[in-house]
Amino acid sequence: MNPELRELWVYLSTSPLLGLTLTLLAYQLAYAVYVKLGSHPLANPVAIAVALIVAILTFTGTPYAVYFEGAQFVHFLLGPATVALAVPLYAQWPRLKKLFGASMLALVTGSVVSVVSVWLIAEALGASDQVLRSLAPKSVTSPIGMGISEKIGGLPSLTAVLIMLTGIVGAVIGPTLLKATATQDDAIRGFAIGMSAHGIGTARAFQISETAGAFSALAMGLNGVVTSIVVPVLVHALA
Amino acid sequence: MLASLTLLLVFQLIGETVVQWLRLPVPGPVLGMLLLFAALVVRGEVPTALRDTANGLLQHLSLLFVPAGAGVMTHLGLLATAWLPITVAILLSTAVTLLFTAFVMRAAARQR
């Protein structure tokens, strides 16, 4: 690299502008690919954007912390966006009242199934105790999951990654699996996606319909609460 | 747009404050969502400006997960050593949770 270019790179790479612009460009490219491939579930925009960014950061030798300086402005919007989920949820209020009992039953049993199944499968395949504890809260939204992980002796930053992977997996396989089992009610589809794949699943559920998205958001919020109560008890029994 | 964005932030702030204060096991924004939902139920309708702002924010919800998602690069080493149990457990457990939840909810909803 010639000295002038090098100087420019040093300047830009320490400014938040680059991380922010990279995030927006990578996402839009990923989204264009997703649309181009006929919205194929395997072409998940989050997965593609993340892969692009990780490749670019690795190639340019940029640490994640430096990238996040800029990307945090996008990350920050998760807070108000989560609050905004109340709006589509309110639109489902009449349906929600009718499905209240069924939702609560699915919520508590689904939360237990999620924790127990991931623990037993990973344990059978030889995962270490630390990985098991980090995996247990994989289906809840990351701020809750990281808190749970810390409480039970997992690695919070690893949990954040595992939650992310779970969300992408749920968003990719969820709608197809539900279609295969002839689940036609968008409220139930959304709830199941939110239970298993939190916010990333919710983003995907909104592409099915507003009803699916709202019920996914509801399941995500409630599952966080239930799982934080259930995990310490279950892990005590499983470990 | 400005007023409704402020409203969302205010609800988030209330959520964060209550969570810290009562040491609840919920993130502030999730409590903020539940509180805003309760406020909308009491009010009986969604103001048009709030609906537009909410739709705008939620339209590209996936984008907001990208910065945290790129954090995967900080654990590539650990993931490389335990990739088999992690991949299989996440794939199977996510599928099982999804199908189980849908099945229970369908069965329970049909009961009534």
A200: chain B residues, CB-CB within 8 Å: 62, 65
pTM: 0.87
CA distances from A159 to A90, A149, B70 (A): 31, 7, 14
CA distance A215 to A205: 9
CA distance A130 to A94: 43
Long-range pairs of A3-10 with CB within 8 A, sequence gap ≥ 24: none
Q: Using the beta-carbon criterion (under 8 Å), do A192 and B29 form an inter-chain contact? A: no
Which of B63, B79, B91, B92 is the best residue to mutate to test the A interface, defined by the most A CB atoms within 10 Å of its own CB? B63
Is this prediction's ipTM beyond 0.95? no
Asked if the C-beta of B14 comes within 8 angstroms of chain A's C-beta atoms, the answer is no
Asked if the C-beta of B101 comes within 8 angstroms of chain A's C-beta atoms, the answer is yes
CA distance A195 to B93: 12
As a whole-number percent, the residues of chain A with pLDDT over 90 amount to: 67
Q: How many CB pairs under 8 A join A and B?
A: 305
Higher pLDDT, B59 or A115: A115
A83: chain B residues, CB-CB within 8 Å: 8-9, 11-12, 15, 29, 32-33, 36
The amino acid at A192: A
CA distance B93 to B72: 20
Mind telling me how many Å the CA of B15 is from chain A's nearest CA?
A: 9
CA distance A74 to B62: 11
Q: Select the residue of A135, A178, A221 nearest B102 (Cβ to Cβ).
A: A178
Asked if the C-beta of B1 comes within 8 angstroms of chain A's C-beta atoms, the answer is no
What are the tokens at B82? 């335990």
Contacts of A232 (CB under 8 A, 6+ apart): A148, A151, A152
Span A41-80, pLDDT tens digits:
788 898 999 999 999 999 999 999 999 999 999 989 989 9
Asked if the C-beta of B104 comes within 8 angstroms of chain A's C-beta atoms, the answer is yes
E-strand stretches of A39-129 = none
Span A115-149, pLDDT tens digits:
999 999 999 999 999 999 999 999 998 888 888 89
Residue in chain B lying closest to A218 (CA): B34
B35: chain A residues, CB-CB within 8 Å: 86
Is the Cβ–Cβ distance between A175 and A189 less than 8 Å? yes
Mind telling me how many Å the CA of A198 is from chain B's nearest CA?
A: 11
Q: Is the pLDDT of residue B111 over 80?
A: no
Q: Is the pLDDT of residue B77 over 80?
A: yes
Q: Using the beta-carbon criterion (under 8 Å), do B63 and A74 form an inter-chain contact? A: yes
Classify residue A238 by burial, with Cβ atoms within 10 Å: 0-12, 13-18, 19+: middle
Q: Where are the domains of chain A?
A: 3-76, 83-238
Asked if the C-beta of B81 comes within 8 angstroms of chain A's C-beta atoms, the answer is no
Span A16-52, pLDDT tens digits:
899 999 999 999 999 999 999 988 878 889 899 999 9
What are the tokens at A62? 């940029």
Mind telling me how many Å the CA of A12 is from chain B's nearest CA?
A: 18
Residue B112 has a pLDDT of 61
Span B83-104, pLDDT tens digits:
999 999 999 999 999 999 999 9
